[in-house]
């Protein structure tokens, strides 16, 4: 019989089912759902999954690669279960960075066509790598758009490798051509080309022989480079190359030749391509398998079958073969590694038990062997003449134990009469069964659409299935065959199961899209693109530089394939078959994943990593076709020489399509300059400029280079050159850079034969040493305060900039720390909390201290944004992870973030109950009494008790326990925090007892992780505890003075140090009485640069090294004003001293092969390996960032790019 219950999914959302029972008369049976699921792994039931509501979305954009600082433009196509536009509903677009961290969410509007257009600005500081935009409905992701953020310069040429044959053998010639052309059309004649051929191991796996093994793992093959060639392309932009494949190679299975080629422009930039060719080391391959199921027993004959298969996959007669059987015994030891860890090492002793000769002449045969005892056996079949070999292993069971069969005997084979159906048609399903019985046939996907029950008298049947529209784009026919209990014999299958996908109404919904555009246009003209689809369709058009798209091998957006992709079977089936005949999942060895091919290509791959060339890319947005089914968009093409790939995507209800085309953009006279990625100070640079003449006649051309910025051109800035038609020449311009960082703009102009063309490039002139900042701060204790520049000769004068702040607020001395926190570029739980914590206490002071930071947003907005971001890092238990979307708790960060939330709510900021209550609940659970604590754990527990007390939830029991049992182990700041926790609950005596004798924090080494301990941070915590509990304690001013000295003597503070110091000092200074008003003048040398009044004033961009003097007018009260002077610039070579402050760094340049590089022999186009080694000299360090300044002229390779 059959029983069906409706709306079961809603019931199961609230509770997890454990068992299903069924009774009929005296018969009883049950299903344990956690152990009785049918294994569908061997059936074709995988695919995509719809959302709970059935919505799905396809997102695509103008292109799939952008630079930091660019804007992503695209559209989301949203459809319901029937692939129709759904009704209007709220959509969210969430950005995730390469680490999977949430970088922001915005709302989108969807129109009546089911389209939601979006733009997304990539921050200039965005991490490079793969980014994702996720489209959400009701917090469920229904679609994704993946794109790369990379620093790049578009390619200007295209490179292809074409092999003469798809496969070669030993001793044969592997011949291939390298061809290259400029993207704007002409062949890349005369350009340098480098090519390499490498042999790598591959697997031979012919179709139809899946049960055979064509691999001998005992053989090892090390990658072998068989060709390195350097030359130039001929007049057609080609170079023919060949190499002989070595003979006699002994390989595990097969080989593959990776052909890599790199063509180098005259200026040194190169573009690469890769091609693969099969290399068959043997005239035929040997396959081997063991016949029979299960594990054989000792003294039971084992039959093995071999086969000889040609490289094309056909059986061929084998030569004289040798079969050998080995008995393996393994010895395993636990060995200590050089790193101090331990790992198991196993060695094998092999004993040859049998060796048989196999006669030649047959493509397939069998031989037998009788194992004498249980254990591990290996069988090797080889051809001594050709070297072909294969090996399998099997285990012989013992001690009376015989595992069950590995092959599943309970399988139904289902096949369909057509590959695709239309609604209203009828599908014929052929059933091939291992036995007769009762057959349940269903049509399923995320639910059950249709059921039938049949009695199968024989072992085959044909079932008719009516096709419904709900089955789009695919459903599954599943069948369960049950054998009658009276027919069930011991050891035989009682149930058979099968599944087959059913494709419905797919290809008829592919829209035909055509693009009409000119084959070639000139720069600075309009490009009109006409798209033909169907009347009333929505269309987007993109026109993007092919040199950008080939960096990532950009594919044409294909919404049809996405929406009509195969959906997964969402229905789960259960039975008690596993209790009748246990099933075994066969675990095979997956092929070795690898990036060997990318490593071959990466020796040529590169990115120029600077924005010296503006990307040429256009996006039409969504337009509609007219009654004739056409739409036209127009783009204004700028200065550009290359090719624009045109991409049109059309959508209308359940129909989708796309097409692409190409338009070349070029002048008859072309300039191709090659600039470095940046310029450095005081260096001489040669700029190669290639001039191409396609004007139709030979001519003499004048080429001029001009520059705006701190560079000078040496020699003549105008050169003349005679160039034949269809040819090119390279000129070199020499320039000298200045002594100060700046932006430089270069303009090239060429004229001749009645044509004129220009090319502009923007570069940054960067320092070759890191900038240095010097801070001076203090109170103005006299009417006249000179501030001389204390380090003459320390900075390059052109780079020095000073900024002076004068204020009646003592906190102005720490304004640099506040700016550092608010502009810190990262956003983990600690950094997010540190950046906004101080603003709780002195938001008004913050605006006065640094008005430029808060010109657009009030500090309260910063605080609320910090609260919102922390919510994205909260875990299920109320604690906080280090980063959004991480599931790993950060203990100290959790307490620190909760401390901020408590103080933010106390200060009147809105903190949602769910966030606040869960965070306090976590602290309550965390701060539990234990017999023993590690010192860092004890520090966290006391901090948590302090925060709970500040929130009015003091845990007096745990506080008393810690005080009584752990008091002697508490560090000074922890004693003060515990005392402050008691004070918050009214016990001032405990405060006095715990803080007796406390004067300062202990001197300790900074931690870069864990609890982020440091002397300064703990000193600030000590001060904060005193200010909360005993603000008039005479020790407070002393600790304030120590922190002030810390700020002046130690420039580089951690975010923990800066935040806690500002929080504590902010509270302290707010409690101090203000001095009398003042006025005065600021002098640079003897020239006034501004006047002072009784408010915070900032004097920016002070240049030169003249002394600064602050002159107060009569009646000034000493100590009424405070100052902070920040000097920043590039140090001189003589003043710069390399330093190792706890880290030892070694940088070395190596050749392609890893050997030492002679820098005096480096030539244009060489590959250089930069090796950086870092070693801590002060114990364990966490959260380390390495910034590695490269010399100008080097281009960083990027293996994520394809060309």
Distance CA 585, CA 405 (A): 10
Highest mean pLDDT among 150-159, 465-474, 698-707: 698-707
User: Quick check: 436 and 457 in contact, CB under 8 A?
Assistant: yes
User: Mean pLDDT, to the nearest integer, of 825-846?
Assistant: 80
Q: How many CB atoms lie within 10 A of CB 345?
A: 10
pLDDT higher at 491 or 663 = 663
pLDDT higher at 582 or 972 = 972
Per-residue pLDDT tens over the stretch 855-898:
666 788 888 888 988 988 899 899 999 887 677 899 999 999 99
Radius of gyration of the chain (CA): 38
Q: Report CA 329 to chain centroid distance, whole Å.
A: 44
CB within 8 A of 1165, min separation 6: which ones?
Answer: 192, 194, 264, 268, 270
Q: What is the mean pLDDT of the chain?
A: 87
The H-or-E segment that residue 535 falls in is none
Per-residue pLDDT tens over the stretch 49-96:
877 788 999 999 999 999 999 999 999 999 998 899 999 999 999 999
Reported pTM? 0.74
pLDDT of residue 554: 93
- pLDDT over 50 (residue 300): yes
Order of strands across the sheet with 718-723?
Answer: 679-680, 755-766, 742-752, 699-708, 718-723
pLDDT of residue 605: 33
- pLDDT over 70 (residue 1194): yes
Confidence of residue 685 (pLDDT cuts 50, 70, 90): very high
Per-residue pLDDT tens over the stretch 202-255:
999 999 999 899 999 999 999 999 999 999 999 999 999 999 999 989 899 999
Confidence of residue 284 (pLDDT cuts 50, 70, 90): very high
pLDDT of residue 590: 32
Please report, for residues 177, 190, 225, 408, the alpha-carbon distance to residue 231 in angstroms, rounded to integers and kept in the order given: 13, 9, 18, 59
Q: At what angle do helices 1015-1029 and 1055-1070 cross, to 10 degrees?
A: 30
- pLDDT over 70 (residue 603): no
pLDDT of residue 1139: 83
User: Mean pLDDT, to the nearest integer, of 463-467?
Assistant: 93
User: Mean pLDDT, to the nearest integer, of 295-321?
Assistant: 93
User: Quick check: 349 and 407 in contact, CB under 8 A?
Assistant: no
Confidence of residue 841 (pLDDT cuts 50, 70, 90): confident
pLDDT of residue 612: 61
- State the DSSP string of 537-553: -EEEEEEEEHHHHTTTT
Distance CA 1173, CA 1160 (A): 23
Confidence of residue 709 (pLDDT cuts 50, 70, 90): very high
Highest mean pLDDT among 99-113, 226-240, 576-590, 1064-1078: 226-240
Phi then psi dihedrals of residue 965, to 5 deg: -100, -25
Q: For residue 592, give the DSSP letter.
A: P
pLDDT higher at 1172 or 127 = 1172
Distance CA 377, CA 368 (A): 13
Nearest to 918 by CA among 946, 868, 877: 877
Three-state SS at 106 = strand
pLDDT of residue 1041: 82
pLDDT of residue 1198: 80
pLDDT of residue 405: 29
- pLDDT over 50 (residue 607): no
Confidence of residue 701 (pLDDT cuts 50, 70, 90): very high
pLDDT of residue 338: 59
Which region among 270-284, 599-613, 994-1008, 1156-1170 has the lowest average model confidence (pLDDT)?
A: 599-613
- pLDDT over 90 (residue 818): no
Distance CA 494, CA 481 (A): 8
User: Mean pLDDT, to the nearest integer, of 719-728?
Assistant: 95
Q: Which domains does the chain have, with CATH numbers?
A: 56-149 (2.60.40.1930), 157-204+220-279 (2.60.40.1940), 285-396 (2.60.40.1930), 413-507 (2.60.40.1930), 509-551+607-665 (2.20.130.20), 672-766 (2.60.40.10), 771-808+1074-1135 (2.60.120.1540), 830-1001+1011-1068 (1.50.10.20), 1136-1203 (no CATH)
Structure tokens at 591: 């092929």
Q: Give 1037: exposed, middle or buried? Use CB within 10 Å, 0-12, 13-18, 19+.
A: exposed
User: Mean pLDDT, to the nearest integer, of 109-122?
Assistant: 95
pLDDT higher at 330 or 511 = 511
Question: How many CA atoms does the CB half-sphere of 264 hold within 13 Å?
Answer: 17
Place of tokens 């997890």: 16
Q: Is the backbone peptide bond immediately before 1199 cis, with ω within 30 degrees of 0?
A: no
pLDDT of residue 587: 34
pLDDT of residue 343: 58
pLDDT higher at 642 or 1049 = 642
- pLDDT over 50 (residue 402): no
User: Mean pLDDT, to the nearest integer, of 198-205?
Assistant: 95
Per-residue pLDDT tens over the stretch 555-590:
999 999 999 988 888 888 887 765 553 333 333 333
Per-residue pLDDT tens over the stretch 1144-1160:
999 999 998 889 999 89
Q: How many CB atoms lie within 10 A of CB 257?
A: 23
Question: How many CA atoms does the CB half-sphere of 952 hold within 13 Å?
Answer: 6
Per-residue pLDDT tens over the stretch 125-134:
788 899 999 9
pLDDT higher at 237 or 104 = 237
User: Mean pLDDT, to the nearest integer, of 117-122?
Assistant: 95
User: Quick check: 104 and 95 in contact, CB under 8 A?
Assistant: yes
Q: Give 943: exposed, middle or buried? Use CB within 10 Å, 0-12, 13-18, 19+.
A: buried
Percent of the chain with pLDDT over 70: 91
pLDDT of residue 143: 95
Q: b/e map of 792-831 (b: 16 or more CB within 10 Å)?
A: eebbbeebbebbbbbbbbbbbbbbbbbbbbbeeeebbbbb
User: Quick check: 204 and 214 in contact, CB under 8 A?
Assistant: yes
pLDDT of residue 1197: 80
- pLDDT over 60 (residue 400): no
pLDDT of residue 848: 67
Which region among 431-435, 675-679, 876-880 has the lowest average model confidence (pLDDT)?
A: 431-435
Distance CA 1058, CA 1080 (A): 31
Structure tokens at 1077: 């008003």
Confidence of residue 267 (pLDDT cuts 50, 70, 90): confident
């Amino acid at each position: 019989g059959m029983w069906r219950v409706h709306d079961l999914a809603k019931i199961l959302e609230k509770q997890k089912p454990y068992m299903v029972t069924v009774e009929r008369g005296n018969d009883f049976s049950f299903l344990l759902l956690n152990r009785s699921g049918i294994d569908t792994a061997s059936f074709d039931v995988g695919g995509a999954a719809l959302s709970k509501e059935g919505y799905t979305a396809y997102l695509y954009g103008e292109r799939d690669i952008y630079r930091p600082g660019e804007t992503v433009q695209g559209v989301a196509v949203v459809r319901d279960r029937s692939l129709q536009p759904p009704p209007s509903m709220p959509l969210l677009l969430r950005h995730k960075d390469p680490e999977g961290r949430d970088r922001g969410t915005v709302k989108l509007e969807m129109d009546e066509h089911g389209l939601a257009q979006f733009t997304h600005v990539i921050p200039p500081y965005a991490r490079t790598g793969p980014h994702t935009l996720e489209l959400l409905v009701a917090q469920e992701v229904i679609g994704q758009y993946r794109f790369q953020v990379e620093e790049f310069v578009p390619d200007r040429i295209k490179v292809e490798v074409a092999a003469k044959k798809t496969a070669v053998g030993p001793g044969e010639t592997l011949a291939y051509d390298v061809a290259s052309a400029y993207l704007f059309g002409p062949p890349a004649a005369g350009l340098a080309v480098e090519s390499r051929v490498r042999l790598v191991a591959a697997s031979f796996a012919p179709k139809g022989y899946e049960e055979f093994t064509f691999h001998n793992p005992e053989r090892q093959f090390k990658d072998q480079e068989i060709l390195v060639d350097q030359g130039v392309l001929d007049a057609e932009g080609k170079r023919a190359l060949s190499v002989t494949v070595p003979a006699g190679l002994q390989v595990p299975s097969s080989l593959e030749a990776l052909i890599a080629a790199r063509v180098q422009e005259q200026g040194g930039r190169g573009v690469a391509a890769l091609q693969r060719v099969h290399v068959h080391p043997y005239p035929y391959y040997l396959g081997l398998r063991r016949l029979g199921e299960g594990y054989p027993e000792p003294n039971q004959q084992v039959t093995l079958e071999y086969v000889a298969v040609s490289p094309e996959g056909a059986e061929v007669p084998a030569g004289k073969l040798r079969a050998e059987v080995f008995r393996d015994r393994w010895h395993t030891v636990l060995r200590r590694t050089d790193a101090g860890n331990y790992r198991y090492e196993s060695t094998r002793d092999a004993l040859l038990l049998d060796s048989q000769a196999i006669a030649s002449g047959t493509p397939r045969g069998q031989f037998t062997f009788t194992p004498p005892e249980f254990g591990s056996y290996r069988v090797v079949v080889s051809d001594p003449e050709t070297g072909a070999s294969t090996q399998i292993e099997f285990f012989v069971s013992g001690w009376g134990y015989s595992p069950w069969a590995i092959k599943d005997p309970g399988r139904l084979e289902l096949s369909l009469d057509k590959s695709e159906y239309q609604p209203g048609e009828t599908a014929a399903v052929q059933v091939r069964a291992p036995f007769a019985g009762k057959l349940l046939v269903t049509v399923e996907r995320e639910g059950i659409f249709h059921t039938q029950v049949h009695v199968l008298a024989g072992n085959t049947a044909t079932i008719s299935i009516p096709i419904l529209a709900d089955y789009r784009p695919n459903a599954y026919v599943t069948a369960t065959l049950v054998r009658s209990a009276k027919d069930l014999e011991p050891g035989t299958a009682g149930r058979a199961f099968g599944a087959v996908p059913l494709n419905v109404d797919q290809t008829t919904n592919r829209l035909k899209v055509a693009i009409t555009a000119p084959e070639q246009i000139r720069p600075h003209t309009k490009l009109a693109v006409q798209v033909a689809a169907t009347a009333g369709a929505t269309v987007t058009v993109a026109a993007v530089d092919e040199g950008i798209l080939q960096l990532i091998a950009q594919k044409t957006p294909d919404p049809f394939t996405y929406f009509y992709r195969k959906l997964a079977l969402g229905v789960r089936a259960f039975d008690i078959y596993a209790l009748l005949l246990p099933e075994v999942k066969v675990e095979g060895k997956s092929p070795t994943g690898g990036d060997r091919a990318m490593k071959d290509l990466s020796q040529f791959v590169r990115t120029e990593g600077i924005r010296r060339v503006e990307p040429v890319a256009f996006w039409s947005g969504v337009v509609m076709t007219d009654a004739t089914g056409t739409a036209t968009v127009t783009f204004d093409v700028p200065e550009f020489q290359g090719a624009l790939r045109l991409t049109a995507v059309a959508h209308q209800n359940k129909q989708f399509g796309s097409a692409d085309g190409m338009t070349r953009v070029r002048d008859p006279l072309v300039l191709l300059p090659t600039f470095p990625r940046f310029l450095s100070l005081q260096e001489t640079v040669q700029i190669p400029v290639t001039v191409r003449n396609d004007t139709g006649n030979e001519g003499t051309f004048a080429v001029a280079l001009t520059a705006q910025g701190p560079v000078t051109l040496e020699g003549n800035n105008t050169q003349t050159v005679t160039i034949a038609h269809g040819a090119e020449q390279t000129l070199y311009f020499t320039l000298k850079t200045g002594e100060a960082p700046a932006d430089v703009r270069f303009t090239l102009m060429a004229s001749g034969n009645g044509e004129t063309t220009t090319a502009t490039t923007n570069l940054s002139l960067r320092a070759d040493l890191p900038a240095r900042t010097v801070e001076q701060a203090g109170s103005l204790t006299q009417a006249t305060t000179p501030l001389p520049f204390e380090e003459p000769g320390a900075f390059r004068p052109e780079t020095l900039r000073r900024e002076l702040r004068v204020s009646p607020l003592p906190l102005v001395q720490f304004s640099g720390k506040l700016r550092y926190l608010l502009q810190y570029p990262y956003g983990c739980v600690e950094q997010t909390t540190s950046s906004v914590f101080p603003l709780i206490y002195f938001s008004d002071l913050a605006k006065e201290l640094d008005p430029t930071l808060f010109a657009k947003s009030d500090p309260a907005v910063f605080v609320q944004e910090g609260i919102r971001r922390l919510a994205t890092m909260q875990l299920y238990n109320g604690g906080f992870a280090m980063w959004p979307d991480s599931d790993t708790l950060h203990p100290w960060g959790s307490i620190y973030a909760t401390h901020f939330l408590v103080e933010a709510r106390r200060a009147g900021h809105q903190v949602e109950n769910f966030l606040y209550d869960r965070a306090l609940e976590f602290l309550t659970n965390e701060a539990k009494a234990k017999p023993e604590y590690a010192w860092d754990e004890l520090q966290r527990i006391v901090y948590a008790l302090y925060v709970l007390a500040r929130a009015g939830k003091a845990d007096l029991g745990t506080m008393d326990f810690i005080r009584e049992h752990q008091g002697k182990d508490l560090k000074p700041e922890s004693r003060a925090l515990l005392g402050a926790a008691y004070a918050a609950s009214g016990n001032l005596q405990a405060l006095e007892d715990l803080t007796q004798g406390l004067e300062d924090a202990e001197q300790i080494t900074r931690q870069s992780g864990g609890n982020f301990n440091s002397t300064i941070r703990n000193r600030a915590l000590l001060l904060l505890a005193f200010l909360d509990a005993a603000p008039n304690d005479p020790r407070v001013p002393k600790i304030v003075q120590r922190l002030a000295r810390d700020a002046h003597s130690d420039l580089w503070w951690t975010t923990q140090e800066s935040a806690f110091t500002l929080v504590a000092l902010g509270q302290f200074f707010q409690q101090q009485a203000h001095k009398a008003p003042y006025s005065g003048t600021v002098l640079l040398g003897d020239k006034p640069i501004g006047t002072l009044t009784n408010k915070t004033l900032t004097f920016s961009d002070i240049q030169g090294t003249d002394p600064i003097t602050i002159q107060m007018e009569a009646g000034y009260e000493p100590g009424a004003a405070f100052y902070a002077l920040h000097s920043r610039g590039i140090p001189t070579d003589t003043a710069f001293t390399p330093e190792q402050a706890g880290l030892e760094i070694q940088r070395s340049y190596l050749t392609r092969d890893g050997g030492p590089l002679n820098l005096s022999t480096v030539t244009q186009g060489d590959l250089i390996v930069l090796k950086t080694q870092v070693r801590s000299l002060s114990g364990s360090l966490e959260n380390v960032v390495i910034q590695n300044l490269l010399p100008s002229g080097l281009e960083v390779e990027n293996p994520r790019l394809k060309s």
